[in-house]
């Protein structure tokens, strides 16, 4: 009972460590000819990672750039569908990252991004300063923690793929519906035209009355 309780406690700590990593995930709508910016205050020597992906809209591309507190651009990409950027801060202050759709005149975009700050803390106390090897139970908990992280990443990936595929399917369904309505109207007009034309062939023209 005590061993099982310890295993459950350590595995629960691994689960909370996997789910409690610092960061922000957000899905935003980016109108045409628009730009959205976000700001985050960071300490010096902190690692941050920005992952983003366009879910729907246009050619599934977006502009993105990141600036340090002095306004220096440390990352810039144009018309990217997805990308990942990691950086260790050299200055303390507010960092800015922006998504731009200014090159698009008609297409609205849906953009997902994940902004992670700092390294993930160890799941076990004093794990980085241990003088002895991990026990079998601790190694199992570390393995479970790594597998949970893999599962979370996979779920996020498949969730984005599903949203992107659903958007494409809805767009294709709309195009097919419009095309079907257009074909129906054309057939209706052609059918009426044929009826009128055939009717004109079989209509008897009466001679005009007049005196000799």
Q: What is the pLDDT of residues 18-46, one digit of tens each?
A: 334 467 888 889 998 899 999 999 999 99
pLDDT at 3: 39
pLDDT at 140: 78
How far apart CA 47 and CA 22 sit, in angstroms, is 12
CA dihedral 164, 166, 172, 173 (to 10 degrees): -160
pLDDT at 134: 66
pLDDT at 69: 94
pLDDT at 208: 59
Predicted TM-score (pTM) above 0.85:
no
Read off the tokens for 85: 């950027």
Q: Give how far Cα 121 sits from Cα of 14, 19, 32, 145, 192, Å.
A: 11, 12, 40, 12, 75
Which positions of the chain have pLDDT values less than 50? 2-21, 212
Q: Where are the beta strands (DSSP E) in the chain?
A: 23-30, 35-42, 47-56, 62-67, 73-80, 82-88, 93-100, 109-117
pLDDT at 142: 73
Percentage of the chain with pLDDT > 90?
Answer: 38
Query: 39 Cβ partners below 8 Å, 6+ apart?
Result: 94, 95, 96
CATH 1.10.287.3510 assigned to domain 21-122? The reply is no
């Amino acid at each position: 009972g005590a061993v099982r309780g310890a295993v459950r406690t350590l595995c629960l700590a691994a689960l909370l460590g996997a789910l409690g990593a610092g960061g922000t995930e957000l899905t935003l709508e980016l109108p045409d000819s628009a730009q959205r910016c976000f700001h985050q205050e960071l300490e010096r020597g902190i690692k941050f990672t920005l992952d983003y992906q366009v879910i729907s809209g246009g050619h599934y591309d977006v502009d993105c750039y990141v600036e340090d507190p002095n306004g220096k651009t440390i990352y810039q990409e144009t018309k990217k569908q997805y990308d990942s950027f990691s950086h260790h801060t050299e200055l303390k202050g507010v960092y800015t990252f922006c998504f731009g759709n200014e090159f698009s005149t008609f297409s609205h975009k849906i953009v997902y991004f994940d902004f992670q700050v700092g390294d993930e803390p160890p799941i076990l106390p004093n794990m980085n300063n241990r003088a002895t090897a991990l026990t079998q139970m601790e190694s199992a908990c570390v393995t479970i923690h790594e597998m949970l992280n893999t599962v979370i990443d996979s779920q996020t990936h498949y969730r984005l793929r599903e949203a992107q595929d659903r958007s494409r399917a809805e767009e294709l369904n709309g195009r097919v519906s419009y095309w079907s309505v257009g074909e129906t109207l054309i057939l209706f007009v052609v059918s009426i035209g044929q009826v009128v034309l055939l009717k004109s062939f079989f209509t008897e023209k009466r001679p005009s009355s007049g005196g000799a």
